[in-house]
Amino acid sequence: MHFKFISLVLLAVFAGQAHAFKKLNVVTTTTDIQWLVEQIGGARVSVHSLLNGTEDPHYIDAMPHFVGKVAKADMFCLVGLDLELGWAPKVLVRSGNKQVQHGGKGYCETGKTVKALQVPKGKIDRTLGDVHPSGNPHFHLGPNAFVQGGETVLQVLQGLDPDGTKYYLSNFEVLKKNMVALKKKVSAILEPVKNKKYMEYHKEFSYFFSEFGLSSVGTIEAAPGVPPSAGRLARVSVQARSKKVAAALAAKTSPRRLTKKFGSLSKVPVARVSVSIEKRGKIKTYESLMTHIAQSLANASSQTKRM
């Protein structure tokens, strides 16, 4: 009996320890935010992304399995800046999870600590296209801006798990140092083509262009989220030639027919690239994502010499 009593006591102690160090269950909207939370949360979090990295997060449905995952989450982390406005709020409401609702302890909107680019001024309506009132939400393609988004992650993790504060702070410092090193690596790839002019299909690369000192002369889209008409394609192609645009960047989710038509009319190479970390693709890390975009742009720019 004495041995049995000691065994039960030890079992209770170990169970208590396991409970004390139970990982936070974090659900994110995108794979990029998943990566960010993993860098800061480390061994104290278990993170799952609702998206797989190959979709356009603007146009997603509130799927039933999303609701089920969020219902069990300790923390829900999204990009924000209205990127997931069409579906994330529905998922949150249907989940019934009070902790992760807007304003809840486990709600994490990374965009709120980002110094957003392209914040519109004046009256905003649908005639302007898919304009985001709080600014451009594609900040994850700028390492500095992505770290700014990480400040929200850090704050929410500390609030949910005060015992892990020093650990989270240490990881955040490592993240910042790694981002500095990554910027140097990407800058080196872009250095030979830094002084050229570029375009983008959609304003997904604004933070990338800004942080790496690249010159963007406009978009192929007439307005955000509005596919270019035949007339628009003809006009923007002429503009691209007259401004001697070296290359254009487009996400793989952008309409292939339209980017191909622009390339044919303008004779400007179009690099269609991944814009998120992929669950089942080749882009598994943030570093591989950024170097992939940089190398694709550099390779496309070099093609103009042969055209």
With a cut of 80, say whether residue 241 has pLDDT above it: yes
Look at residue 124 in the predicted model and tell me its pLDDT: 58
Banded pLDDT at 58 (limits 50, 70, 90): confident
**What's residue 151's pLDDT?**
98
pLDDT reported for residue 302:
86
Q: What is the pLDDT of residue 123?
A: 61
pLDDT at 8: 41
pLDDT at 90 over 80: yes
Q: pLDDT at position 183, please?
A: 97
Residue 11 pLDDT level (bands cut at 50, 70, 90): very low
* Size (the chain), residues: 307
* Residue 304: per-residue pLDDT: 56
With bands split at pLDDT 50, 70 and 90, how would you rate the model's confidence at 281? confident
| pTM of the predicted model as reported, rounded to 2 decimal places | 0.89
- DSSP characters for the chain? -HHHHHHHHHHHHHHHHHHHTPPEEEEESSHHHHHHHHHHHGGGEEEEESS-SSS-TTS----HHHHHHHHT-SEEEE--TTTTTTTHHHHHHHHT-GGGSTTSTTEEEGGGGS--S----S---GGG-S--TT--S-GGGSHHHHHHHHHHHHHHHHHH-GGGHHHHHHHHHHHHHHHHHHHHHHHHHHGGGTTSEEEESSTTSHHHHHHTT-EEEEESSSBTTBPPPHHHHHHHHHHHHHTTEEEEEEETTS-HHHHHHHHHHH---EEEE--S--SSSS--SHHHHHHHHHHHHHHHHHHGGG-
pLDDT of residue 143: 97
Average pLDDT over residues 271-295: 96
Write down the pLDDT at residue 13.
43
As a whole number, the mean pLDDT across the chain is 90
Q: Please state, in angstroms and rounded to a whole number, the distance separating the CA atoms of residues 24 and 27.
A: 10
- Where are the chain's structural domains? 2-182, 184-306
Find out if CATH 3.30.450.40 is the number for domain 2-182.
no
Q: Is the per-residue pLDDT at 116 higher than 80?
A: yes
**CB 250, CB 273: distance < 8 Å:** yes
- Topology match between the domains 2-182 and 184-306: yes
- Which strands make up the sheet holding 270-273, listed edge to edge? 215-219, 197-200, 245-251, 270-273
Nearest in space to 160 (alpha carbons), one of 198, 110, 117, 105 = 105
Class of domain 184-306: alpha beta
Please give the average per-residue pLDDT across 99-118, as a whole number.
96
pLDDT number for residue 247: 97
Question: What pLDDT does residue 198 have?
Answer: 97
Q: In this model, does residue 5 exceed pLDDT 50?
A: no
Candidates 238, 236, 242; CA nearest to 250 is: 236
